[in-house]
Amino acid sequence: MSRLSVILITKNEASNIEACLRSVAFADEVLVVDSGSTDGTAEIARRMGARVEITPDWPGFGPQKNRALALARHPWVFSIDADERVTPELQAEILAVVLGEGEIGAWEIPRLTQFCGQWIHHCGWTPDLVLRLFRREAARFSDDLVHERVLFEAGPVGRLKTSLLHYSYPTPSHYWRKLEQYSQAWAQQRHQAGQRTSMSRAVAAGVVAFVRSYLFRLGILDGAMGFAVCTMQAQAAFGKYFALYCLNRKNDPSSDIVPPPA
């Protein structure tokens, strides 16, 4: 009979970790890989019965999740983030896959995200399909510093029906913090790969993101919060290209930036 490991990476997730771990307590193993939390996250996880491993550095989201994957003990792995929750209905679907011994080795799960207390059903956020359940030996995470994904090429991918609940943005400040973190990581990765951009590209990215999410992806149907989400998505699109633009200028010997007076 197959068994299940749940893996998650953390850094200062004391406000989330207990509820997250409670929602996956059905697993045979829960593994938390923590990158030096200072708010008691690791201690809470241990108290909840999780196996906790501490890493001395932060290599990026993809590499850190691969570290967690390498430490998992069981044939099936479910990857979850600290701000996500598994409902009893989703638990039943996951266990049916793990115990069923079917031929499909990886499963996507629809994710429903809450923004400032409201579930967002449009804006390009729904359906948000994430590949999270897979056979350990047949998959790995991409090495992306941010927006990592599961790489699975061992056959067809199935799709569960019940949504994974995502409490990612309880307040606007949570969004701004993640925006800054993701924008800088994305820009650093693209800059290292030699990509260049311009201010006009950054502006265009923001405008296109708003029009796409608010009109074509029906963000207008989510009311005032839908407008807020689409506006913030536009800022996120502009922000990552602007961060790349700044890196280009900073590291270009021919940059026209005027240095400050000595």
Could you tell me the pLDDT band of residue 174, with boundaries at 50, 70 and 90?
A: confident
Residue boundaries of the structural domains of the chain:
4-168, 172-250
Could you tell me the pLDDT band of residue 258, with boundaries at 50, 70 and 90?
A: very low
Asked whether the predicted pLDDT for residue 99 surpasses 70, the reply is: yes
pLDDT of residue 1: 63
* DSSP per residue, the chain: ---EEEEEEESS-TTTHHHHHHHTTTSSEEEEEES--SSSHHHHHHHTT-EEEE-SS---HHHHHHHHHHH--SSEEEE--TTEE--HHHHHHHHHHHHHT-S--EEEEEEEEEETTEEE-STT-SSEEEEEEEEGGGEEE---SSS--EEE-SS--EE-SSPEEEEEESSHHHHHHHHHHHHHHHHHHHHHTT----HHHHHHHHHHHHHIIIIIT-GGGGHHHHHHHHHHHHHHHHHHHHHHHHHHHHT-TT--PPPPP-
Mean pLDDT in residue range 27-34: 98
Could you tell me the pLDDT band of residue 168, with boundaries at 50, 70 and 90?
A: confident
CATH of domain 4-168: 3.90.550.10
Asked whether the predicted pLDDT for residue 259 surpasses 80, the reply is: no
pLDDT of residue 226: 96
pLDDT of residue 253: 56
Asked whether the predicted pLDDT for residue 235 surpasses 50, the reply is: yes
